[in-house]
Amino acid sequence: MDADETRDNVVPGSDEELDTPDVRGYDFRGEFDFEELMDSYATTGFQATQLAEAIDIAERMQEQDAKVYLTFTSNIISSGLREAVAYLIREGYVDVVITTSGSLTEDVIKTAKPFKMGEWEADEAELREQGINRLGNLFVPSDRYVWLEEYLYDFFDDFFAEEKIRTPTAFARELGETLEDEDSVLKQAADNDVPVYCPALTDAEVGNFLYYYRQAYDSEVGIEILDDYDSLIEDGLLADTTGLIAVGAGLPKHHAIMTNLFRGGADYVVYISTGMEGDGSLSGAPPSEAVSWGKIKEEDETNYTLVEAEATLVFPLLVASAFK
Amino acid sequence: MDADETRDNVVPGSDEELDTPDVRGYDFRGEFDFEELMDSYATTGFQATQLAEAIDIAERMQEQDAKVYLTFTSNIISSGLREAVAYLIREGYVDVVITTSGSLTEDVIKTAKPFKMGEWEADEAELREQGINRLGNLFVPSDRYVWLEEYLYDFFDDFFAEEKIRTPTAFARELGETLEDEDSVLKQAADNDVPVYCPALTDAEVGNFLYYYRQAYDSEVGIEILDDYDSLIEDGLLADTTGLIAVGAGLPKHHAIMTNLFRGGADYVVYISTGMEGDGSLSGAPPSEAVSWGKIKEEDETNYTLVEAEATLVFPLLVASAFK
Amino acid sequence: MDADETRDNVVPGSDEELDTPDVRGYDFRGEFDFEELMDSYATTGFQATQLAEAIDIAERMQEQDAKVYLTFTSNIISSGLREAVAYLIREGYVDVVITTSGSLTEDVIKTAKPFKMGEWEADEAELREQGINRLGNLFVPSDRYVWLEEYLYDFFDDFFAEEKIRTPTAFARELGETLEDEDSVLKQAADNDVPVYCPALTDAEVGNFLYYYRQAYDSEVGIEILDDYDSLIEDGLLADTTGLIAVGAGLPKHHAIMTNLFRGGADYVVYISTGMEGDGSLSGAPPSEAVSWGKIKEEDETNYTLVEAEATLVFPLLVASAFK
Amino acid sequence: MDADETRDNVVPGSDEELDTPDVRGYDFRGEFDFEELMDSYATTGFQATQLAEAIDIAERMQEQDAKVYLTFTSNIISSGLREAVAYLIREGYVDVVITTSGSLTEDVIKTAKPFKMGEWEADEAELREQGINRLGNLFVPSDRYVWLEEYLYDFFDDFFAEEKIRTPTAFARELGETLEDEDSVLKQAADNDVPVYCPALTDAEVGNFLYYYRQAYDSEVGIEILDDYDSLIEDGLLADTTGLIAVGAGLPKHHAIMTNLFRGGADYVVYISTGMEGDGSLSGAPPSEAVSWGKIKEEDETNYTLVEAEATLVFPLLVASAFK
Ligand SMILES: NC(=O)c1ccc[n+]([C@@H]2O[C@H](COP(=O)([O-])OP(=O)(O)OC[C@H]3O[C@@H](n4cnc5c(N)ncnc54)[C@H](O)[C@@H]3O)[C@@H](O)[C@H]2O)c1
Ligand SMILES: NC(=O)c1ccc[n+]([C@@H]2O[C@H](COP(=O)([O-])OP(=O)(O)OC[C@H]3O[C@@H](n4cnc5c(N)ncnc54)[C@H](O)[C@@H]3O)[C@@H](O)[C@H]2O)c1
């Protein structure tokens, strides 16, 4: 092959023009307008386009009056996204919450004592000496858990008073009812009749204090998880349309799509995740994988998307755009 | 500043020589020797060095006769790592297993019918039509679940025959006892008295079939999770030394370190994970974060490490090096 | 150890309160205010806090009248961030640009013909048939390159007319002078006397057309790169204070910090990157690594940060917050 | 919908059996055999399967007598993979090398003085005081650069003696000829007539010393990059078949596929990268994206693959399996 013969490879040309939108970013001339910025994300490409798609899907969930599942990992509550979650529930945008046990633990603590800003890099052995727990770039002084222990024992006395075997949703609801902070996720869920599913209730400090409580006060109390699973499934069966917003992945995300399988798949789905597809994990699996399982429906118009991003960066933008 | 004055910045020099090992990779001259390759990883740098550290720590767990916790996510069982996990239990290297519910589901299926190699990219809506479920680059035909349903109903009849409220560890053990495949994780765990903890037992197909079973046969059966949490904690208290190998992250990893907190932290820890530290997640948190919480001990000699890698690539190397 | 003895491990308590800010997210009550949202990121934790830090550092660059280096990878210009980059240069916020060759190629194309929105998943062999090139979720029809070839040959005639051996900065400047699009990065750089460094000029379609040009017209034209490196270093030596914003990583980021080494390190640094620290790559290296090399200064007040994020999501937020 | 009606969704069944291999991992019973382990990766799933595919493709490159391009980022040479790269060239497995300037810099240093094992976490300001540079978990004492400066000045005197304007390939070759270390990549490349392409030669310490050299000795020396680009393209045109192994991504990977475009695409391609597809970067782009551009061919039998992994973990396994 000589240079001339290469041209067909290098500059093949193309005939038809594509009829998709032009790639074009926000125009920073003139006064800044947040809504227009988010609109411009649709044609900015890469993950900005994914976020614009997520906003669009979240808006359609509402137009279609979908039953909205909000799922999140515990660290969402550790962070300042707790307030955004509480807002969504308070304003009636959310119908079902699914999360892990750290969320419950930390939401209660924050009604009494804040978490503190910290540092990613620290001398952890020294922190341990001082009783300071590191959680990414946040610090949680251990006195929070001293307070929590006492608070929970009082609650456990009431919670197990009439029945010894209870469910995680009852736990979340009755605990939420004791709280007074308007920014509490559990309080808002309790006040607004939004069930909070948390099958692995033991896997956080509430689990630790249940252990101590059983040791010290009543070894017969228990948490049963099949009742909740039934409710979650059957509640989904009643819905004409469902929408799912998964902030972070893991068990909460899977619990939502797995139970939507019974009704033939979720109708609208937004994932926000840092998971890696190539590790074959549930956390990293994009929505399309769930289509093969029947856990998410596939429609003609885009009804699911994944934003590959750390949630604190993008969830507030989603809330501000689709839920205000 | 002129060019001359810059030299102190650009070529500052250094006086003392470092006494750490030289960076040096495997010498491919001569016959290939796997053990020497793994040894050479110690001085290859980046994640190779992390893997060499993991091998070293895993060997020390055994020398110290540590109680070994092996935790893994469900997709480990989906993959060909299932056989390696079964091997470790069969050979007595593992004392406690913690996992998620997909592991139990899929280990049972594989005793009867294999998973099949598939493709990352597929037309998922078409796969759904054909009844083929995609799991990363693996395919799971849906007839596996038809078979499983029947198998589990028989098992449930026995399992709930005497007591209606059971625990996940009992579930795993009694189910394992019914299996015949020597490569089954549940069978090996049952045969070798290794408890399998799985607090969120509902979050997989075993949960789905428990739902149907309650609908069709007995609505009063239940799964209680506090008993297991007590056992997991107390079992740890009896150990002089503990070691943890977390393959993948999520709930199983946290369950292990959280319950090791009661005894003052795990002694030897190896994480293999693709998690991202910067998202503040439990899955992405390096071992050092757990030191601040007292969940992992900090010793003078390196006693914990993280290999940032997809597990199928490195776990077999770890097993071949530290557990043969 | 029995349960009671464990309490010191589990609930150690802590005496002193931390004096860092409380973790607290945006309050969505009331009318939405973008500036307040960005302020709230400082106490939202995880990467939101990193972004707030980036905004703060970018503002301080300006207050200190720093010479600002903006570096970016080629895909930034492929995306809708091109318009934001052109804006920053047009408004005088940027003093030096460093990038790779795809940026030059694509910026010129976009002055005549837009890139089009596309899809992540496509049948690439079929796209090839149609002459459509995929770039993430963007599509670039090949006729763009047919047009570019012709445009560049005219330009090359002039560019090499007087001198046969030229530099990448001259290439970028003189090419920019031929362009009319106000959203062109090259045009704005040329108009505003901002040099555009691009040592590996061959590594994109402009390189391909230089090859053809040498074949067809003049085999003696050349691109020499040492002159540019001298200028980049010496220009930095004249600055009292320097600031660096690296959007994406790779060569452009390294070129900026490496030449800042001569002056004792960059004063203010913001990285936006998806790079992975654990692979030992330059792209994944956090700013702290560059401190050890003397490429970035370490000050008492935080003068460098890394936002772990895909740039299209966060760069517009940075521009809107620190450069309006 | 009631429970019964859900069964078609939950357990749809499937008729035909798939004829792909069963998922099955290595059998650790019996004596350990490395080759069998690597074979088993084909059916282990996730990235293990990708690695097995990479080994297979690399073997076919050799069977087809392909011209083999090996590209790598600079940190590969920083790490212990340098020795593996030198081995491949020494044994005649590689025909073209493409890399970045740090590789040249560091390969020369290592002929005289080793890099040292270090730590990911360090007090970088203190390291700077001591003249120790951190590179991931490696340490490079600054005296290496003092030595290098002197070494290079001698070399520059010769290199520029007859011609003032030289190319990066000549630089690499003539520098390689001065070296004596059999594990040197540059020496092996020079000895075996393997060209080393490095368009952005300035972007590392060799660039810095070229700057000083021009200041102190001869301001007219220069590095011209178009000649090399021509050779790289034309050399590819002569090949019947080409194969590419890209260890790490960035400019080296792109340079290889871009110049393979002229000949209609590379025939066999293996990428090893940690890059993220969702950021739209060249580094993160999978081989399939390059198919749409005509840079990689698409054949019936799998001829390209991507292993998502940190290279130190998997590149030695690839070398041991496909190149021994
Ligand atoms: N096969 C399945 O994955 C499957 C099947 C049925 C149910 N489920 C359910 O989905 C829920 C979530 O799954 P999970 O908790 O098991 O974990 P997960 O898949 O959500 O993974 C958690 C984290 O572990 C790490 N990880 C996962 N796979 C890895 C790998 N191959 N290499 C390295 N790191 C890896 C990643 O950081 C990931 O984010 C569980 O409740 C589980 O029962 C999963
Ligand atoms: N030691 C050094 O890294 C070093 C030294 C001096 C100069 N430089 C300069 O820095 C610039 C940028 O470096 P670069 O272009 O060589 O590449 P890079 O370090 O920026 O890496 C590019 C991409 O390659 C992939 N990658 C890198 N290391 C990997 C690994 N170990 N495993 C898997 N994937 C990996 C990642 O996706 C990364 O984003 C170059 O101009 C180079 O000359 C680097």
List phi, psi (to 5°) of D136.
Answer: 65, -125
Identify all chain A residues contacting C81, using CB atoms and an 8 Å cutoff.
25, 44
> How would residue D271 be classed by pLDDT, with cut points 50, 70 and 90?
very high
pLDDT in tens, C245-304: 999 999 999 999 999 999 999 999 999 999 999 999 999 999 999 999 999 999 999 999
Element (H, E) at A38: helix A34-41
pLDDT in tens, C132-147: 999 999 999 999 999 9
CA distance B64 to C256: 50
CA distance A54 to C89: 31
What pLDDT was estimated at residue B2? Answer: 80
For residue D86, pLDDT over 80 is answered with yes
ipTM reported for the complex surpasses 0.90: yes
Residue A246: helix, strand or coil by DSSP? strand
For residue B3, pLDDT over 90 is answered with no
pLDDT in tens, D19-53: 999 999 999 999 999 999 999 999 999 999 999 99
DSSP E strands: which ranges in B119-162?
132-135, 138-141
CA distance C192 to D27: 66
What pLDDT was estimated at residue C15? Answer: 82
What pLDDT was estimated at residue A2? Answer: 80
Residues paired with B246 in a beta bridge: B71, B271
Report CB contact under 8 Å: A233, B211. yes
What pLDDT was estimated at residue B64? Answer: 97
Smallest Cβ–Cβ distance between D225 and the set C223, C278, C284 belongs to C223
Q: How many CA atoms lie within 13 A of D232 on its CB side?
A: 34
What pLDDT was estimated at residue C1? Answer: 75
Identify all chain D residues contacting C115, using CB atoms and an 8 Å cutoff.
none
- CB of B98 closer than 6 A to ligand 1? no
Concatenated DSSP letters of C246-292: EES-HHHHHHHHHHHGGGTSBSEEEEEE---GGGT-TTT--HHHHHH
Query: Which amino acid, residue B66?
Result: A
Sheet holding C116-117, edge to edge: C116-117, C138-141, C132-135
Q: Tokens 């290999």, residue?
A: B307
Sign of CA dihedral A278, A279, A280, A284: negative
**Which residues touch D319 (CB under 8 Å, ≥6 apart)?**
B28, D84, D87, D88
Looking at residue C106, the DSSP 8-state letter turns out to be H
This prediction's pTM: 0.98
For residue B4, pLDDT over 90 is answered with no
What pLDDT was estimated at residue B213? Answer: 98
List phi, psi (to 5°) of B197.
Answer: -90, 140
CA distance A251 to B200: 8
Q: Are strands C196-197 and C96-99 parallel, antiparallel or unpaired?
A: parallel
Smallest Cβ–Cβ distance between C233 and the set D102, D211, D298 belongs to D211
CA distance A235 to A255: 13
Asked if residue D309 lies in contact with residue D47, where contact means CB atoms within 8 angstroms, the answer is: yes
Residues paired with D130 in a beta bridge: none
Residue range B78-101: mean pLDDT, rounded: 98
What pLDDT was estimated at residue C37? Answer: 98
Concatenated DSSP letters of B71-127: EE-HHHHHTTTHHHHHHHHHTT--SEEEE-HHHHHHHHHHHHS--EE--SS--HHHH
Residue D277: helix, strand or coil by DSSP? helix
Distance B215 CA to ligand 1 centre (A): 29
What pLDDT was estimated at residue A32? Answer: 98
> How would residue D3 be classed by pLDDT, with cut points 50, 70 and 90?
confident
> How would residue D16 be classed by pLDDT, with cut points 50, 70 and 90?
confident
Distance A283 CA to ligand 1 centre (A): 6
How far, CA to CA in Å, does C215 sit from each of A2, B150, C235? 10, 72, 36
For residue B61, pLDDT over 90 is answered with yes
What pLDDT was estimated at residue A157? Answer: 98
What pLDDT was estimated at residue D11? Answer: 93
Q: Which of C81, C152, C312, C319 is the mutation pick for testing A, counting most A CBs within 10 A?
A: C312
Neighbours of B, requiring at least 3 CB pairs below 8 Å, are A, C, D
Question: CA torsion angle for C90, C91, C96, C98 (degrees, to 10)?
Answer: -60
What pLDDT was estimated at residue B15? Answer: 82
CA proximity to A323, closest of A86, A83, A80, A55: A55
Average predicted confidence (pLDDT) for chain B: 97
> How would residue C308 be classed by pLDDT, with cut points 50, 70 and 90?
very high
Share of chain B above pLDDT 70, in %: 100
For residue B1, pLDDT over 80 is answered with no
Q: Whole-angstrom distance between the N-terminal and C-terminal Cα of chain C?
A: 62
- Compare all CA atoms of chain C with the CA of D127 and give the residue at the minimum distance: C292
CA distance C205 to A149: 65
Distance A236 CA to ligand 2 centre (A): 49
Query: Which CATH superfamily does the domain covering C58-322 fall into?
Result: Deoxyhypusine synthase (3.40.910.10)
> How would residue D156 be classed by pLDDT, with cut points 50, 70 and 90?
very high
Report CB contact under 8 Å: C274, D276. yes
Q: How many CB atoms lie within 10 A of CB D245?
A: 28
Identify all chain C residues contacting A23, using CB atoms and an 8 Å cutoff.
78-80, 114-117, 138
What is the residue-level pLDDT of chain A in tens, covering all 324 positions? 788 889 999 999 988 889 999 999 999 999 999 999 999 999 999 999 999 999 999 999 999 999 999 999 999 999 999 999 999 999 999 999 999 999 999 999 999 999 999 999 999 999 999 999 999 999 999 999 999 999 999 999 999 999 999 999 999 999 999 999 999 999 999 999 999 999 999 999 999 999 999 999 999 999 999 999 999 999 999 999 999 999 999 999 999 999 999 999 999 999 999 999 999 999 999 999 999 999 999 999 999 999 999 999 999 999 999 998
Query: Which amino acid, residue A72?
Result: F
What pLDDT was estimated at residue A16? Answer: 81
- Compare all CA atoms of chain B with the CA of C294 and give the residue at the minimum distance: B9
Residues paired with A165 in a beta bridge: A222
Sign of CA dihedral D160, D164, D168, D170: negative
What pLDDT was estimated at residue A235? Answer: 95
Q: How many CB atoms lie within 10 A of CB D300?
A: 5
pLDDT in tens, D208-261: 999 999 999 999 999 999 999 999 999 999 999 999 999 999 999 999 999 999
What pLDDT was estimated at residue C16? Answer: 81
Residue C110 is among the residues annotated as catalytic for this protein? no
For residue D1, pLDDT over 90 is answered with no
User: B74: which 2 tokens?
Assistant: 């469900």
Residue range C228-240: mean pLDDT, rounded: 97
Identify all chain A residues contacting B285, using CB atoms and an 8 Å cutoff.
135-136
What pLDDT was estimated at residue D280? Answer: 96
Q: Tokens 């800010």, residue?
A: C21
Q: Are strands D138-141 and D116-117 parallel, antiparallel or unpaired?
A: antiparallel
pLDDT in tens, C148-170: 999 999 999 999 999 999 999 99
Concatenated DSSP letters of D82-139: HHHHHHHHHTT--SEEEE-HHHHHHHHHHHHS--EE--SS--HHHHHHHTEEEETTEE
Question: CA torsion angle for A304, A306, A311, A314 (degrees, to 10)?
Answer: -80
Neighbours of C, requiring at least 3 CB pairs below 8 Å, are A, B, D
CA distance B249 to A283: 10
Residues paired with B305 in a beta bridge: B270
CA distance B166 to B168: 7
